[in-house]
Structure 1
């Protein structure tokens, strides 16, 4: 019986790193947009909640049949609609008698009883998360617990929404009842848990966003989304044979737009940061120096290397160009790593332009 539950749990832990990696990008965006920063405690609980949901899902769908063309149940029955039918199953299979307490211990080895206990325990963490982290009221906890349990049962009775030929587990109304009861038990236990842990709604009280440092992770996200937008534009302009597509795209997107919006690009807006110069408004000269060094000098050398390669320049010239580019990239990499491990050190294009990133307050 224990091995039946350990297999899905172990599978959930094995696959959690992949799921967590996919979850990280939307998680960071939501945290930056909603709170202005990422709180480690809030992040820990969200990842724990994700791990719990994966365990719960795998416990109700694993182990899978050997083939998608599985056989129908021997009884031909897919649903059980009689409430508290598990009481009859326990009484019939365990031989427990209310008049004889000495028979109660038989429940601990009875599968029907342990199944009920499992169904309750399965949803206890859900109720605890709802109350502690999501600050849900008891009625919402009741509805959400019932809804999650219903999702589990529908997943089972539809053979994971048609993947398999026949359902390999029963839709049981008793499971809905015991799962929901587990969620409400978790809701009650969360009151005790809340006394031991910091309140989620108080995590941001002492945080001053104006003094928080903009992390390189946050800047990398802004960079990623900016180039997701800009790269297709450059490709289209190149296909249309517009002159200097890279130069014009950089000038408009990273210099003109931030100048008009006082330091914003789409990527920076998405993660709630903006560029700030030495004055109240960022100056055009600051943007020209910043992005001129970053994209026209450092980036422009790489663009020129690609163009040289496509234009079949002499081999000796390309070897010399490659060596120069390698030395340049190595120097840039060393400079970036020094800045990563020394918060007081600025990237060269920031130091020369007098610009820096700031978190926006709203």
Structure 2
């Protein structure tokens, strides 16, 4: 029986890296916007929650039928009698009233083990709700029941119509035992909270002024800006306005930060902004120098690479020279970036020349809350 459970668990662990890849982007965005930085303990708990949910769903759904066109079930797939599992345990377990030792057979019977599995399945869920999300017990009951209901609906619908017929029974007892497991986990979380870091106090001693804006955070802002700019460029071209992505990017980066106090859409999402080297607002010449070098010069050179007509117009020899110059510039910037990743206290070259820096942009109401709990109220990271 335990071998049956190991099969879906192994698949859940194999699927976890892929799920974590898709989970990381929203995790970073939420953590940057809500807390201003990434706390390792908080991130670890959330990844463990993801791993748990994968295991739970795989345990509920696997093994799958051999074909999408599975056979119709012979009997009813609905069991609406509450606590029917108790009667099944008593009926199917060999017990002799005059022999107390036979009562132990209950613990090894398939019906009891199945009920125990359904309880254990949601114990971790209740622990996450109690420890990380700090929910009340009523909320834990509701969410544990909702999770179990989701399991049952997914099964009875054949994974929402993917299979022709259901391949698992919709059992009300599963919802009862799953909800019980959630409450047991909730109680356990209250007992072990004293042994673990308090989630609500993780930020109380964090000084944001001592934190720098990481390259991960900057890369995420760049990714979000790139998605926005690509969508705008496609829309403009659909409207018969033949404008290149490079031109849209130049207008965007040379104007938007000046109108928004040093923020672009991506920077706004991850709560960072441009400031001058002296800590004041970014000056126009600094913004233009920064993005002119990064997107105007380096980005402009790379925007020529897909343009075959440009290289044809300047001749073969000159075209080869231009391509070599562009590749060398890209290589030089890549090496420079790697060196700055190693020596993180040094700014990138376009930051040095423009005298601008990325700093954390934290709302005043959050700063006030941080000061109450002992955190920093400064704008830097």
Q: Name the TM-score class by shorter chain.
A: over 0.9
Counterpart for residue 273 of structure 1: 272
Counterpart for residue 323 of structure 2: 322
Counterpart for residue 339 of structure 1: 340
Structure 1 residue 248: deviation in Å?
4.8
Counterpart for residue 366 of structure 2: none
1:249-302 residue CA offsets vs partner (Å, 9 max, x unmatched): 344311222112120111100110000013522111111111111111111211
Q: 2:122 aligns to what SS in structure 1? A: helix
Q: Counterparts in 2 of 1:289-300, with a 5 A limit? A: 289-300=289-300
Kindly indicate whether the alpha-carbon contact (under 8 Å) linking 1:72 and 1:166 is maintained by their aligned counterparts in 2: yes
Kindly indicate whether the alpha-carbon contact (under 8 Å) linking 2:230 and 2:245 is maintained by their aligned counterparts in 1: no
Aligned-partner Cα distance in 2 for 1:95–1:77: 26
Counterpart for residue 257 of structure 1: 256
Counterpart for residue 69 of structure 1: 69
Q: 1:71 aligns to what SS in structure 2? A: coil
Aligned-partner Cα distance in 2 for 1:356–1:318: 36
Kindly indicate whether the alpha-carbon contact (under 8 Å) linking 1:209 and 1:361 is maintained by their aligned counterparts in 2: no
Counterpart for residue 226 of structure 2: 227
Kindly indicate whether the alpha-carbon contact (under 8 Å) linking 1:305 and 1:321 is maintained by their aligned counterparts in 2: no
Q: Counterparts in 2 of 1:5-24, with a 5 A limit? A: 5-24=5-24
Structure 1 residues 256, 171: closer, same or farther in 2, change over 3 A?
Answer: same
Structure 1 residues 129, 118: closer, same or farther in 2, change over 3 A?
Answer: same
Give the RMSD, CA atoms, in angstroms: 2.0
Kindly indicate whether the alpha-carbon contact (under 8 Å) linking 2:233 and 2:243 is maintained by their aligned counterparts in 1: no
Structure 1 residue 202: deviation in Å?
0.3
Aligned-partner Cα distance in 1 for 2:246–2:36: 33
Kindly indicate whether the alpha-carbon contact (under 8 Å) linking 2:250 and 2:296 is maintained by their aligned counterparts in 1: no
Structure 1 residue 218: deviation in Å?
0.7
Q: Which deviates the most, 291-300 or 306-315? A: 306-315
Q: 1:306 aligns to what SS in structure 2? A: coil
Q: Would you say 1:284 and 2:314 are equivalent positions? A: no
Q: Would you say 1:206 and 2:205 are equivalent positions? A: yes
Count, aligned residues: 361
Aligned-partner Cα distance in 2 for 1:239–1:119: 54
Counterpart for residue 367 of structure 2: none
Structure 1 residues 254, 98: closer, same or farther in 2, change over 3 A?
Answer: farther
Counterpart for residue 52 of structure 1: 52
Structure 1 unaligned spans of 5+: none
Q: 2:304 aligns to what SS in structure 1? A: helix
Structure 1 residue 174: deviation in Å?
1.1
Q: Counterparts in 2 of 1:1-362, with a 5 A limit? A: 1-74=1-74, 76-97=75-96, 99-234=98-233, 248-277=247-276, 278=278, 280-307=280-307, 310-313=310-313, 314-362=315-363
Aligned-partner Cα distance in 1 for 2:240–2:167: 59
Structure 2 unaligned spans of 5+: 364-381
Moved >6 Å (runs of 4+): 238-244
Q: 1:343 aligns to what SS in structure 2? A: coil
Aligned-partner Cα distance in 1 for 2:173–2:97: 22
Aligned-partner Cα distance in 2 for 1:69–1:247: 50
Structure 1 residue 239: deviation in Å?
7.5
Q: 1:219 aligns to what SS in structure 2? A: helix
Kindly indicate whether the alpha-carbon contact (under 8 Å) linking 1:338 and 1:345 is maintained by their aligned counterparts in 2: no
